Homo-oligomer: A and B are copies of this chain.
Amino acid sequence: MSTTRTINLKNRPTGKPELTDFDFSTSVIPELKEGELLLSTKYVSVDPYLRGRMSDAPSYIPPFELNKPIASGVVAEVLESKNSKFSKGDHVLGMMEWKETQVAKADGLIKVDPDKAPLSAYLGVLGMTGLTAYLGLTEIGKPKKGETLLVSGAAGAVGSVVGQIGKILGLRVVGIAGTDEKVEMIKSEFGFDEGINYNSTENMIEAIAKACPDGVDVYFDNVGGEISDAVLFNINKFSRTINCGAISVYNNTEQPKSISVQPFLVKKSASMQGFVVFDYADKHPQGIMQLAEWLGQGKLHHTETIREGFENIPQAFLDLFEGKNKGKMVVKI
């Protein structure tokens, strides 16, 4: 019987996750049944939203089970196929377990072409990351040419794509990030008009006002917390906030507090709306086509932080919360 290395959830983290919350085990690879594929993991996506699935609080997707494998977006190669739609040597994208080798049903897997784009791009700009950026910005942000778009977590996987799409759509784009290097990168590599380093800025309210002299029309929020508090003071009438993530408070053990948003929303007839890419599944095919077109035209740049080695998946995940990634973080197996 063949076996494979597997990464399980050992403990539900309290606050910040730690390496000890993960557990490596060896599991048996079951025999392939009709319709199934034997897959070799090539790239694993690590994403902030996985933190939510490690808790057992109700959320938009069910929690991971303790002592069972963690799962995330994976690109894998087909080693053996008992499904007529896939052949040995094909590459597939889907939600798979953190295993080096695994058997999976073919439903829900998408064939991806390594000649059209690097395999890792299907976990990023052409995958959930790109779709989150594109659909969040267009479906909820409804930006109009000439408006000002502010992006928090701007150097991250989603934020860096949001900013680039903002520029393609004719917006003034301002990004917030945590180091001078990242601020420089979002301007030089991703074409943001302005950047703010929140770690070296004393008064964020004033810094945003200065970087957004016409106010903020659309705020793509990946972080929540104090940065988003400061944004409230700069929103325009009818502004739209896309609440895509709140990484700054995901590890809080107490209920986080912020400035009350209600008076700002009332004064400015403004909106805030939570966005989860899974809710927009009917728009994914069109979104991927649009993103692939922009990528092909060279309008969209694709930045990744690639770690290597199956055993380094947990650390790569933890590093997301330290902002150690630029663009999409993936692990190459």
Please report A residues at the B interface, Cβ cutoff 8 Å.
Answer: 52, 58-60, 221, 224-225, 228, 237-238, 243-246, 249-250, 255-276, 279
Q: Interface centre among A59, A270, A271, by most B CB within 10 Å?
A: A271
In the assembled complex, the Cα of A245 lies from the Cα of B275 at a distance in Å of 24
Assess whether B60 is in contact with A262, with CB atoms less than 8 Å apart.
Answer: no
Assess whether A259 is in contact with B262, with CB atoms less than 8 Å apart.
Answer: no
A274 contacts which of B60, B221, B243, B270 (Cβ < 8 Å)?
Answer: B270
Assess whether B279 is in contact with A272, with CB atoms less than 8 Å apart.
Answer: no
Assess whether A271 is in contact with B272, with CB atoms less than 8 Å apart.
Answer: yes
A260 contacts which of B246, B274, B275 (Cβ < 8 Å)?
Answer: B246
In the assembled complex, the Cα of A103 lies from the Cα of B327 at a distance in Å of 64
A257 contacts which of B225, B260, B274 (Cβ < 8 Å)?
Answer: B260
In the assembled complex, the Cα of A243 lies from the Cα of B261 at a distance in Å of 10
A271 contacts which of B60, B264, B266, B273 (Cβ < 8 Å)?
Answer: B273
Q: Report the minimum CB–CB distance from A63 to chain B (whole Å).
A: 12
Contacts of A266 in B (CB 8 A): 243-246, 274-276
Q: Report the minimum CB–CB distance from A198 to chain B (whole Å).
A: 16
- Tell whether A269 pairs with B275 under 8 Å between CB atoms, given A60-B237, A237-B60: yes
In the assembled complex, the Cα of A256 lies from the Cα of B221 at a distance in Å of 21
Q: Report the minimum CB–CB distance from A319 to chain B (whole Å).
A: 21
A269 contacts which of B60, B237, B269 (Cβ < 8 Å)?
Answer: B60
Assess whether A269 is in contact with B279, with CB atoms less than 8 Å apart.
Answer: yes
Assess whether B269 is in contact with A274, with CB atoms less than 8 Å apart.
Answer: yes
In the assembled complex, the Cα of A275 lies from the Cα of B266 at a distance in Å of 6
Query: Which residue of chain B has its CB nearest to the CB of A267?
Result: B59
In the assembled complex, the Cα of A243 lies from the Cα of B52 at a distance in Å of 28
Assess whether A265 is in contact with B273, with CB atoms less than 8 Å apart.
Answer: yes
Assess whether A262 is in contact with B59, with CB atoms less than 8 Å apart.
Answer: no
Query: Which residue of chain B has its CB nearest to the CB of A264?
Result: B274
Assess whether B262 is in contact with A224, with CB atoms less than 8 Å apart.
Answer: yes
A-B contact pairs, 18 of them (CB 8 A): A60-B268, A60-B269, A243-B265, A243-B266, A245-B266, A250-B263, A256-B259, A256-B260, A257-B258, A257-B259, A258-B259, A265-B272, A265-B274, A266-B275, A267-B274, A269-B274, A270-B273, A270-B274
Q: Report the minimum CB–CB distance from A217 to chain B (whole Å).
A: 15
In the assembled complex, the Cα of A52 lies from the Cα of B255 at a distance in Å of 30
Q: Interface centre among A52, A237, A246, A276, by most B CB within 10 Å?
A: A246
Query: Which residue of chain B has its CB nearest to the CB of A276?
Result: B269
Assess whether A243 is in contact with B257, with CB atoms less than 8 Å apart.
Answer: no
Assess whether A260 is in contact with B258, with CB atoms less than 8 Å apart.
Answer: yes
In the assembled complex, the Cα of A246 lies from the Cα of B268 at a distance in Å of 13
Q: Report the minimum CB–CB distance from A86 to chain B (whole Å).
A: 32
Contacts of A221 in B (CB 8 A): 262
In the assembled complex, the Cα of A60 lies from the Cα of B268 at a distance in Å of 7
